[in-house]
Amino acid sequence: MKNLFQRVSQAPTRPPSAAGGPKTFDVADLYRGPIDAGEPVDTATGLDEKLRQAYFWIVNHAIISPHYDIEYNTTPPQRYQIGDSKAVVTLPTGQSYSSFVLLPLLNFAVRRRCLLVGGPGRGKTASAVLMGLLAGYPLDEVHRAIQHGQPQMTISDLLGNPLPADLIGAQSMSDIRISWRKWLGMRVKIIDEYNRIPTRTQSALLTVLADNYAEILDHTYECPEAAWYLTANDDAGGGTYAVIEALRDRIDVTVHALHFNSRFVRDLLVRVEEGLRPEQVMPQRLVFTVAEMDAMKNAIRQVTLPAPLRRRLEFFASQFELCELGGAQIEYRTKDTVKLAGADFATLSAQETGRDRLRDLGTQTRNGVSVRALMSALEFAKALAWFRGNASVELDDLRNVLPFVLHDKLEPNHEAPFFDAPGNGIYRVDRVSWLRLLFDSACAEYDRLQLDTADPVAALQEELAQGLDGVSENEARARIVRIERLMAEQARGAKLYGHVYDDVLALKYMHQRYTNYLSWLQWSS
């Protein structure tokens, strides 16, 4: 059993507060202590701690990533401004994390699709390999299963081959057996340099990545649910082939491999001198069984998202889809309409609508937030909350995952006035910080509008969510009147911003539901 590098912390990685009252003792604890017996973890209580142990082992021993860019604070942090550019450095007061290690680990927990981007030698593939080891695969098997993108890669290279003997003797397609590639059956899938794969092979990859099955000659192979890791040296279309949009859209989270801090050359020196390769000696106690992986995903699903937090996410997402001059009918006034028509977005978005183009967050993007991106955001926010030992998502969890989820989903409109404002040019380059600022700005606007305390549209939605069973004709008419009044108030408002646009469409939807319900009531009576 490989069980080296045993610097897995014996102390809880997030110590619980001391509890009072009588203790109860489990006689099984006799055999627990400083020496790890490699027992399976209690899937009801111990998996988040195990994942944290994995995180700390990776950052302390495997991936030298001394960056704490996912910050949490328990008390106001110290802030410093350094250099002529007034670069702000904060010293977080809560347990903070390195996105380059944490996000792939959360992706492992929720089994989604993670893109690791950055220059060569930054540990992208090594990080993905560690995830394969966490899933319990031997190192050589993980290495063999890596699909290395290259310009000659064929669908057969990727998926498998029909058996030659069957090809000669077969009377029908069903007689041909397929030798499927082994990686298709693995729970961790690694595609190295995916932007060097030819377009046709990318399409085959898309089927596996999106629909979880592979197809050759009318034969299909159902893949198990897996955590995907794709790597790219250049995220901005600098690969050999352009990544097809559908494939790019399936990526749930994008993580930057940050630079190597030269203050840590000593660690490299030890590895060189001692011939150390951490991936060869991951502690066995960190390996997750299939049952544990399933339990972990289920536990993450149980994490709650408080309604006020959900409203903030809704408000944020509502900022970006509206393009007031993108269509005539209200439903079609979107950036998506403009894109489908092939119209010039820059021209349309620059036309005067009377909105404050600096304050309007919608001007900063060329598209809106997709359903897939929202689902990814919810899943990763829950995963982060669970990783931190919490039963419900906090605002900072959402704030910390959104930039990585939306990294390739929300396209910046660099012609927007925001980017020309003094000091904002940096956000043309630093997309993670720009996305975080977008969310912070949306939250500030949400607070200014006092939507936490007065949100009549949300109240109407809540009413409708209770169901229509038993709602009387008079009550339905009263609700319709309330909707119409609210719509009139919206119409009296000065400008059409993204969140107003979504409110208007939601009111129209509710009005239609009650109208149909009234018709049914009258027919049935």
Residues at the contact surface with another protein, assessed by CB under 8 A: 1-7, 10, 18-23, 25-28, 30-39, 61, 270, 274-278, 280-281, 284
Q: Are strands 160-162 and 213-216 parallel, antiparallel or unpaired?
A: unpaired
Choice between 21 and 120, CB closer to another protein: 21
Distance CA 253, CA 206 (A): 16
Supply the minimum distance, in Å, between the C-beta of residue 387 and another protein: 25
Supply the minimum distance, in Å, between the C-beta of residue 104 and another protein: 22
Choice between 39 and 420, CB closer to another protein: 39
Supply the minimum distance, in Å, between the C-beta of residue 142 and another protein: 17
Supply the minimum distance, in Å, between the C-beta of residue 141 and another protein: 18
CB 300 within 8 A of CB 383: yes
Supply the minimum distance, in Å, between the C-beta of residue 316 and another protein: 41
Q: Tell me the one-letter amino acid at 229.
A: Y
CA-based torsion, 71, 73, 76, 77: positive or negative? negative
CA 236 to chain centre: 19
Choice between 276 and 348, CB closer to another protein: 276
Choice between 27 and 236, CB closer to another protein: 27
**Whole-number Cα distances in Å, 219 to 159, 160, 164, 174:** 11, 11, 15, 8
Choice between 163 and 276, CB closer to another protein: 276
Which spans in 58-154 are helix H? 99-110, 124-134, 139-145
- The single residue listed with the structure tokens 């400008």 is 495
Choice between 270 and 459, CB closer to another protein: 270
Supply the minimum distance, in Å, between the C-beta of residue 29 and another protein: 8
Supply the minimum distance, in Å, between the C-beta of residue 280 and another protein: 7
CA-based torsion, 513, 451, 365, 191: positive or negative? negative
Distance CA 457, CA 314 (A): 12
Distance CA 216, CA 489 (A): 58
Choice between 3 and 161, CB closer to another protein: 3
- The single residue listed with the structure tokens 């012609």 is 415
Cross-strand bridge partners of residue 365: 412
